[in-house]
Chain A
Amino acid sequence: MINKREGIPCMTLFDIVKSFGLKVKTGKDRLDEEVTGGYAGDLLSDVIAHSLKGNIWVTIQTHPNVVAVASMKELAGIILTGGREPDSDTLHKAEEEGIPILVSPLFTFELVGKLYQMGISGMGEC
């Protein structure tokens, strides 16, 4: 897929990890996944309603249901912000379902701003 705004290929999770020095907690073997765009939110039903397939999801929720949501919506991965670490149940479930979980020390606003600058949009066109 080509990024409509920048005219370059879509970012992969690996590009994002590299650019922001994110900690990779799960899904190390799935970082070549293309990111189609992004969604930020901490209310699960809102994310279910509005995120798109292949999106990177930015949230502060750390419990196992984030994995259920990411898996149902076929999201590319989850970034936990503010240095929040996933619960141990969450790690387990993420490994089982093959969902990458990344951790950023930045708060949501800062991280989303940087992702947007990098070319990732909220409109599903990466």
Chain B
Amino acid sequence: MTGAGNNIPFREMFHIEGGNFTNAGSISSQVKKILMRAGFSHGVIRRTSIATFEAEMNVICYANQGNLSLFITPDSLKIVVEDEGVGIPDVDLAMKEGYSTANEKIHELGFGAGMGLSNIKNNTDEMILTSKFGQGTHLEFVVSLEGKDRLVPLLSTKE
């Protein structure tokens, strides 16, 4: 594993190519594998994987490109997604369940239900979404660690 620091025992960044549906989901699978290998509990892995999957799909469906970073700190898992693209003109509207700007191709593949952002919100403890229309979107979310999950970041950094 890479990365070292006092407050961030682990960090990893992944590049996401907009419009590339062939590898869609591969980054969230990699994140899931990292968390499984580290030994986090089922619930933490499930919630983080779902939110990461939705965030990855958003970049693929709507942006030109982006980067997704995973930070494992002693008390939380944090994901930051920064993309370049059209951005979101009305963030509040985008957060509404069922609202979607997806095109036909996206729908055919089963994406664009208008539920991605609310799935992220429902599976995380904190979520921040900001966007500059015409430039890009910044999304961060946090899954807090409790109980024995707090010990995992300490153990997993040895690798």
A interface residues (Cβ-Cβ under 8 A, vs B): 42-46, 48-49, 59, 61, 63-66, 68-69, 72-74
CA distance A74 to B113 in the complex (A): 21
Residues of B within 8 A of A48 (CB): 50, 53-54, 115, 119
CA distance A61 to B25 in the complex (A): 14
**CB pair B28 A43 closer than 8 Å:** no
| 8 A-B pairs with the lowest CB-CB distances in the bound complex, closest first | A43-B113, A45-B115, A45-B113, A61-B110, A65-B25, A68-B25, A44-B110, A46-B113
Residues of A within 8 A of B53 (CB): 48, 68-69, 72
Interface check B85, CB cutoff 8 A: no
Q: A43-B113, A45-B113, A48-B50 are in contact. Are A68 and B28 (CB under 8 A)?
A: yes
Interface check B15, CB cutoff 8 A: no
**CB pair B46 A45 closer than 8 Å:** no
Which residues 1-53 of B sit at the A interface, judged by CB distance below 8 A?
21, 24-25, 28-29, 32, 46, 49-50, 53
Residues of A within 8 A of B153 (CB): none
Looking at the complex, which one of A42, A45, A64, A73 makes contact with B25 (CB distance below 8 Å)?
A: A64
Q: A65-B24, A74-B46 are in contact. Are A49 and B118 (CB under 8 A)?
A: yes
CA distance A61 to B110 in the complex (A): 7
Q: Quick one: closest B residue to A46, CB to CB?
A: B113
Residues of A within 8 A of B114 (CB): 45
B interface residues (Cβ-Cβ under 8 A, vs A): 21, 24-25, 28-29, 32, 46, 49-50, 53-54, 57, 107, 109-116, 118-119, 122
Looking at the complex, which one of A44, A68, A73 makes contact with B111 (CB distance below 8 Å)?
A: A44
Looking at the complex, which one of B28, B49, B111 makes contact with A45 (CB distance below 8 Å)?
A: B111
Residues of A within 8 A of B110 (CB): 42-44, 59, 61, 63, 65-66
Residues of A within 8 A of B25 (CB): 64-65, 68
**CB pair A72 B49 closer than 8 Å:** yes
Residues of B within 8 A of A43 (CB): 107, 110-113, 115
| CB of A108 to closest CB in B, whole Å | 13
Residues of A within 8 A of B116 (CB): 45
Looking at the complex, which one of B50, B54, B109, B118 makes contact with A61 (CB distance below 8 Å)?
A: B109
Residue from the set A49, A64, A69, A74 with the largest chain B CB neighbour count within 10 Å: A49
CA distance A42 to B109 in the complex (A): 8
